Chains A and B, each alone.
Chain A
């Protein structure tokens, strides 16, 4: 594509390691394509306009709010949704395990977004202090937990990831 105008796009997307081909309008958000075209409903839509972080996914390992990410922006990138964190060997990723163990989930609506924001934060800062955690999760809102258990879960996740990395090295 170059200077020819289009009003329906055909996109080739790589999501959780699988290839998909979808048609959508230029203003379609990544969250709507994930949920409605592909059926990956683990990505939640709360506010739908970039404010709550429920829809967070990873684009090339970096967290983004998929409700305000144009779907076409994901072409050529690797998209990871909450469904893509687990593997046959590890039904729950260490970050997810930490959320369960720390009791960081109540209604659970915000959880996929928090887990992926935490995952992205821990990739950037493997040993975050409390302020790093608060900053890293400042784009996510939870109406239930009061955040303390979520911050603890991220600390726990950091410990888990660091110890499994140590074990792998030894």
Chain B
């Protein structure tokens, strides 16, 4: 196993060029260490490049109504930053439900994006925001959407010499919005199903779900078919769940089972591609 700690992007690309075998940038290291411990990642022939001192990836700023979140921003830092921020409340909720405080203190936005976890609490909400991912390579910068980044669960479409530099997040105009995907005790329990939706006059109805076989997706057919009627339906379900919770029936269990069946019916009808 080899280890590098470049101090600039140029040095990073230099390290990549001279490394052979399996090369991985390491940000917070939560995912990489977890995989090494579980032996999902082999130590032999692995080169880790510690990217933590790359200051170009650390900025968190607001630009023209969008947030530019540097890839090295910790998830807990982003959660703090978004507290009470208009247009970002759904993502703030999703961050609060994802993993646990320890992982949020360690994990970075770039590491989370590159990890492409099918059960990510954040991906469905990022799809609602129509987030873009800024990628840097020796050839310059490019931006892709989340669909382009996700190859398949746990795999991204980045080339060996490409690094995520930032997440670009337009605000989500939402008159009404909702996020599901909570579990009671988390530990390593990913939400079995995550669903987010938002509605506003400007952006219309947006619905996205996660922990599907190929990762998070926007439910575009559903958005079109249910425009107008989906919001009241979800509101009715929400009221019912709150009533059931008061009766001593755990809300999250109901949400998961019911929504899973609800989505399955639609899927069986061939309306989700």
Contact indicator A27/B102 (Cβ below 8 Å): no
Which of A29, A73, A121, A135 lies at the interface centre, i.e. has the most chain B CB atoms within 10 A of its CB?
A73
Asked if B227 lies at the interface with its beta carbon under 8 angstroms from chain A, I say no
Contacts of A2 in B (CB 8 A): 4-7, 11
Which of B33, B50, B52 lies at the interface centre, i.e. has the most chain A CB atoms within 10 A of its CB?
B33
Asked if B15 lies at the interface with its beta carbon under 8 angstroms from chain A, I say yes
Closest to A6 in B: B3
Contacts of A48 in B (CB 8 A): 37
Q: Which of B69-106 contact A (CB under 8 A)?
A: 76, 96, 99-103, 105-106
Closest to B96 in A: A135
Shortest beta-carbon distance, A92 to chain B, in Å? 23
Tell me the bound Cα distance from A117 to B102 in angstroms: 8
Contacts of B159 in A (CB 8 A): none
Contacts of A52 in B (CB 8 A): 187
Closest to B37 in A: A49
Partner of A139, one of B14, B32, B186: B186
Partner of A65, one of B26, B32, B103: B103
Asked if B48 lies at the interface with its beta carbon under 8 angstroms from chain A, I say yes
Contact indicator B30/A5 (Cβ below 8 Å): no
Contact indicator B105/A64 (Cβ below 8 Å): yes
Q: When A29-B33, A50-B188 are in contact, do A65 and B1 touch as well, CB less than 8 Å?
A: no
Contacts of A9 in B (CB 8 A): 3
Contact indicator A65/B106 (Cβ below 8 Å): yes
Q: Which of A81-136 contact B (CB under 8 A)?
A: 117, 120-121, 135-136
Contact indicator A27/B43 (Cβ below 8 Å): yes
Closest to B41 in A: A27
Seen from chain A, the residues whose Cβ lies within 8 Å of a Cβ on chain B are 1-7, 9, 25-27, 29, 48-53, 56, 59, 62-65, 67-70, 72-73, 117, 120-121, 135-136, 138-141
Question: What are some 20 contacts across the A-B interface (CB < 8 A)?
Answer: A2-B5, A3-B18, A5-B19, A6-B3, A9-B3, A53-B100, A62-B105, A63-B101, A64-B105, A68-B30, A69-B106, A70-B32, A72-B3, A72-B50, A73-B52, A120-B105, A135-B101, A139-B103, A139-B186, A139-B187
